[in-house]
Amino acid sequence: MRIGVFSDSYRPYVSGVVLSIETFSRELAHLGHEIFVFAPEYPQVKGEREPHIFRFPSFHTPINPEFYIALPFLWAARKYASGIGLDLVHVHSPFMLGQVGVNLARYLNIPAVFTYHTLYDQYMHYAPLAGQITKKGMVKYASNFCNRCDLVITPTEVIKEMIQGHGVKKPVIAIPTGVYPERFQAGDPGFLNKNFGISQDTKVLLFVGRIGKEKNLSFLLRAFALIAEQERDAVLVLVGSGPEETVLHYSAMDLGIGERVIFTGKLPPETVAGAYRSADIFVFPSVTETQGLVLVEAMAAGLPVVAKAAYGSLAMVEDGITGFLCQGEEDEFAEKTLSILSDPELKLRMSESALRKAEELAADKMALRLESAYLALINGNHDKLWQMGEEG
């Protein structure tokens, strides 16, 4: 198959969406398929020759200067695609380039697939025109876009059921983004000690992700303040960057935990495995994830997880087995984290279960499932698509 991938974010920008595209593209290529990416242009790659990648002229946003918005020129996409012979279009956004991708699919009379990566209504604080549209309006917009496509992929069953409840009528199949467990198991367990001076005897609680409002990190700081009162040698390590970093730094100081909260900034992908392997527990307060790929990465490194019970974490974390899911407030989050820190046998059992869960979500297995969905769609086998959706 020749697959056209359209995304409003792509490398060198770093995000869960970009990682998902790269992971599936790599595995589909191993299966013999060709991937053609349509993405925004970034200054770091301007002028570079990138085989199978078409870059649209773009501009950066004032809210997030690292993120560039493509100018959605359909004529340019048609011109580039004219000599490719695409069999299918797969879009990863309902906005600029997602619209271009679906329109191109209709022009070429080929199927269009959409992956519902994001709870778009929960990220409206990043949209310049957010004040002119309600959250309810955004949900309706995304649902209408789903119904323009021939197949919708969601990262989890939870999100599949949610969007079907919002009125999505097209086939929906849950296919998580897979990971490479061996990469995270091979991380350097002395990474945080060597690079940030954290003693290997210290209990490390780790968060990896964007340092933004949607990650609910102020909740995590308050929970850690409770943990720190009882676990004197525990530290909280936040890996990532984002607009809330300065605010959270001052919040940590106000809570009296400033010296025990370490902000590493953004780490290169090849070193993040070391951060996971240097930690004791992965803590995840976000309530806006459709999957939370970092949850799977953490489990692949053998970390038990303590997470807020919402969307992605409900699907990825088995409560009491690979970690704990918290329905309540900071005191519950702190209590469950402390219960793992104080019980080595529980920690070991959860670690072993986490490793098994990550193996189930290996990248090659997830790519085979996506390939099967693609082939059913191209061959017009809609009964199989609905069956795959029901199987979960």
Percent of the chain with pLDDT over 90: 82
Supply the range of the domain harboring residue 164: 2-178+362-391
Q: Are 112 and 27 in contact (CB under 8 A)?
A: no
**φ, ψ dihedrals at 314, nearest 5°:** -60, -35
Strands 68-70 and 58-60, by their bridges, are antiparallel
> Residue 312 — very low, low, confident or very high, per pLDDT cuts 50/70/90?
confident
The upper half-sphere exposure of residue 115, i.e. CA atoms within 13 Å in the direction of its Cβ, equals 26
Mean pLDDT of the chain: 93
Element spanning 284, H or E? strand 281-284
- Tell whether 191 and 124 lie within a shared domain: no
- Tell whether 34 and 110 lie within a shared domain: yes
Q: Could you tell me which residue, 390 or 190, shows the higher pLDDT?
A: 190
> Residue 285 — very low, low, confident or very high, per pLDDT cuts 50/70/90?
very high
pLDDT at 136: 83
Compute the average pLDDT of residues 195-220.
Answer: 95
> Residue 122 — very low, low, confident or very high, per pLDDT cuts 50/70/90?
low
pLDDT at 129: 46
- Tell whether 194 and 340 lie within a shared domain: yes
207: exposed, middle or buried (Cβ count in 10 Å: 0-12, 13-18, 19+): buried
- Tell whether 203 and 342 lie within a shared domain: yes
- Tell whether 161 and 204 lie within a shared domain: no
CA-CA distance, 189 to 259, in Å (whole number)?
22
- Tell whether 369 and 379 lie within a shared domain: yes
Preceding amide of 65 cis, omega within 30: no
Q: What is the CATH number of the domain that holds 185?
A: 3.40.50.2000
Reduced to 3 states (helix: H, G, I; strand: E, B; else coil), residue 261 is strand
pLDDT at 390: 86
pLDDT at 125: 45
**Alpha-carbon 230 to chain mean position:** 32
- Tell whether 112 and 209 lie within a shared domain: no
- Tell whether 152 and 199 lie within a shared domain: no
- Tell whether 236 and 341 lie within a shared domain: yes
Of 287, 271, 186, which is closest to residue 237 (Cα–Cα)?
271
Asked if residue 2 has pLDDT above 80, the reply is yes
- Tell whether 23 and 137 lie within a shared domain: yes
Q: How many domains, in total, are found in the chain?
A: 2
CA-CA distance, 68 to 60, in Å (whole number)?
4
CA-CA distance, 8 to 306, in Å (whole number)?
31
- Tell whether 354 and 214 lie within a shared domain: yes
- Tell whether 39 and 69 lie within a shared domain: yes
Q: Are 240 and 209 in contact (CB under 8 A)?
A: yes
Cα 164 to Cα 39, 135, 157, 169, 176: the distances in Å are: 28, 17, 11, 7, 17
CA-CA distance, 370 to 334, in Å (whole number)?
38
